[in-house]
Amino acid sequence: MASQNRDPAAASVAAARKGAEPSGGAARGPVGKRLQQELMTLMMSGDKGISAFPESDNLFKWVGTIHGAAGTVYEDLRYKLSLEFPSGYPYNAPTVKFLTPCYHPNVDTQGNICLDILKDKWSALYDVRTILLSIQSLLG
């Protein structure tokens, strides 16, 4: 029960410091370090309408939130997404899906997103912030 009341931001910072990876061990490799850096960058960015944090202590599985852009049919809507990072990240794109139903031509009924930067146009230069901003832009 106590875990339901904990602050997700504080838990995410703790997870980033620990560098958790899927097996629960320390992420001493470049992928874990990259994800820790991206978490801190995203938290410090001040971008409105986007956020993401690791799910519990797993630095390779995040839950993101996107707010619909003002002046669009998605205004005042909040969408949750799952982001799963492969061991080959950032050279391989993460799997990103809507958890909240989203009615958009580029989103199927299972939440899969048709966005070029998540498929054939992926670049190791992209980060979580870029992904979330691109999806937010897709909606508006």
Which residues form the catalytic set? 114
Helices 8-18 and 30-45: crossing angle, nearest 10°? 150
What is the three-class DSSP state of 97? strand
Q: Which helix (H) or strand (E) holds 44?
A: helix 30-45
Q: Phi, psi at residue 64, to the nearest 5°?
A: -110, 160
Phi-psi group of 48: left, alpha or beta (phi > 0 → left; psi -120 to 50 → alpha; rest → beta): beta
Q: Phi, psi at residue 33, to the nearest 5°?
A: -65, -40
